[in-house]
Structure 1
Amino acid sequence: MRIERICPDEAEALYTCMKKIDQETQYMLYLPDERSFNKEKLIEDIKQNFYIGVKTETNDIVGYLSVHISRLAKIKHIGYILTGVINEMHHQGLATKMFQETIKWAERKGLRRLELTVITTNTPAVKFYEKLGFKIEGIKHESIFMDDHYYDELYMSMMINQASLLDSTIG
């Protein structure tokens, strides 16, 4: 397994991974049959944002993490994370490695914060994000509707480059 940037020419492999994850878990935003493949749109998204993936020896993608950054000046310091790993690849440290590489990239890029949302009942994911250093900032009440029930989401974030900003204000 390799952790590498996802290139535009890997759009189909990325879509296949996303679709499989949608089918395996209820915690992704898309229902299993809701995601459709628009190759040009996905290629453009890969070009404009940060995508990293878990790749097999045959270049299949079995996990991904994307960071979306707004072009708006007031919020271009924020990266919004979407991530997923297919079930059979869980508990192998792959998501941790993707996040570690992403945090390094965010530091080089000069981002101030990374953020994500997670359904409150997805306790393993919440604990994982907390272990990585994400903090809960708030609750988005009844933001997800599935299985005839409303679910809350947690807003979580991680601040980036705080030490270097402190150093520059001290000197």
Structure 2
Amino acid sequence: MVIQKKVVHGKSLTWILRCPIKKDAEELSKLRIQIDGETDNLDREAGEGILTTKDFEKLIYDDTVAEKNLFLVAEVQGKIVGFTRCEGNNLSRFRHKAEFGIGILKEYWGFGIGKILLENILLWADSTEIQKIYLSVVETNTNAIQLYKKVGFKVEGILKQDRIHKNGQFYNTVIMGRFKIL
């Protein structure tokens, strides 16, 4: 699915919200590795689960033609600084729901980019046949959890000691979901 490009005048930062195109694939591949290395909030550490330029080219194409997928990027002065991707499910029993995630370069945290990405994913999801949107978040990412709650997400469960970080500590994963607002 593709949405119209928008200029966002946010918290002391103007940026562009748009869907990625094929030529963004290499930049997205590098960006994802960098974001993974900047935070413990995501599932991967830097260098794990790498998506190559070709992998991103395929995702961009697939998400452009898929009715239940949406891929958005945040671009500041010609540089992609964050993204969100929502992926629907085509299995009959799960066709009513979609999962998403958000990643933003640490230098751009606090500018409201994540909130705008989230709002646009929800606007899109509410305009489709998707009835439920969900995600998982590490329990220590309290800012994200509060943001998700503000827009109607509820905690659906906690996976105890679900992840182990480099420091040897175990952390819980919070599963959150939001049903379509009718």
TM norm structure 1: 0.87
1:132 aligned onto 2:151:
yes
For residue 149 of structure 2, what is the amino acid of its counterpart? E
1:82 aligned onto 2:101:
yes
Q: Contact 1:117/1:153 (CA < 8 Å) preserved in 2? A: yes
Structure 2: stretches of 5+ with no match in the other structure: 1-14, 63-68
Q: Match of 1:169? A: none
For residue 36 of structure 2, what is the amino acid of its counterpart? D
1:97 aligned onto 2:111:
no
Deviates further, 24-33 or 9-18: 9-18
Q: Match of 1:63? A: 82
What is the RMSD of the two structures over their aligned residues, measured on CA atoms?
1.5
1:158 aligned onto 2:158:
no
1:41 aligned onto 2:41:
no
For residue 50 of structure 1, what is the amino acid of its counterpart? L
Deviates further, 42-51 or 103-112: 42-51
1:26 aligned onto 2:40:
yes
| Residues 55-91 of structure 1 deviation map (CA, whole Å, 9 limit, x = unaligned) | 1222x21011110112212112211011111111111
Counterpart Cα distance in 1 of 2:47 and 2:58: 22
Deviation, 1:23, is 1.3
Bigger share in helix: 1
Q: Match of 1:2? A: 16
Deviation, 1:30, is 1.2
| Residues 97-141 of structure 1 deviation map (CA, whole Å, 9 limit, x = unaligned) | 111111111122221011000111111121121122211111111
Structure 1: stretches of 5+ with no match in the other structure: 164-171
TM norm structure 2: 0.82
Q: Secondary structure of the equivalent of 1:34?
A: coil
